Structure 1
C-alpha cells in the first residue's frame, strides 16, 4: 500500500519540520519505508511517500497521543486530496464513498 501526502510550501523550514515525522513513521510497525521528496520542476511542491504492509498498518499509525501531536501539525498543511493507494488487483471494485 502506498500513502502519498503532498504539500505546497515555500517555507524554508519545511524539510526540518517534516524530517521528524518521516523518521517517526519509518519506525512504526508495518512501515516498509518512507521518503520525503521534492518536485523536480516545482520547488514549492513536496511529497511524503510511504510504503506499508497493508491499509490497517497505515491507519493504526495514526493512533495515540504521540502520533496526534507529531503528525497533526504537518499533515494539516497537506494538499486536501486522497492519499492511500493500492494496486488495482488488491483494490477490487472502487466505489466512491458517500456521507
Structure 2
C-alpha cells in the first residue's frame, strides 16, 4: 500500500537572518514544487520560539519525495538550504484512519 508522505523540516534561524532565509526558502519550495509527486508545501514560525522555523512538504509517496531531491536544479537551490536543517528524521507516512 502506497501512502502519502509528509515531511517536517525544522530550522533554527536568528530573527535578523530570517528575511534572507525566507527568500531562499521560497526558492527551494518553488523548485521542489515542480517535481513529480509533489502535492503541497507550508512554512511557519513557532509561536513560542520565533527562531524556530518549519517547512512541511507533502508528496504522493516516499519514492516521490526521495526522487524530488535528485534533479540538478533541486541540488543547486534546495539542498544547500535543507542542509541547514536541524538534524532529525523528517519523513512521515500518513497513518490510516
Query: Does TM, normalized by the shorter one, top 0.5?
Result: yes
In the TM superposition, residue 88 of structure 1 has moved relative to its aligned partner by 4.2
Q: Residues of 1 paired with 2:94 and 2:79: CA distance?
A: 27
Structure 1 SS opposite 2:63: helix
Match of 1:43 in 2: 50
Structure 2: runs of 5+ lacking an equivalent: none
SS in 1 for 2:74: helix
Please identify, of 77-86 and 21-30, the stretch whose mean Cα deviation from structure 2 is larger.
21-30
Pair 1:71-2:78 in alignment: yes
Is the CA contact (8 Å cut-off) linking 1:25 and 1:34 kept in structure 2? no
| Corresponding residue for residue 10 of structure 2 | 6
Q: What runs of 5+ residues in structure 1 fail to find an aligned partner? A: 90-99
Runs of at least 4 residues off by over 2 Å? none
Q: Root-mean-square deviation (CA), in Å?
A: 1.2
Normalising by structure 2, we get a TM-score of 0.84
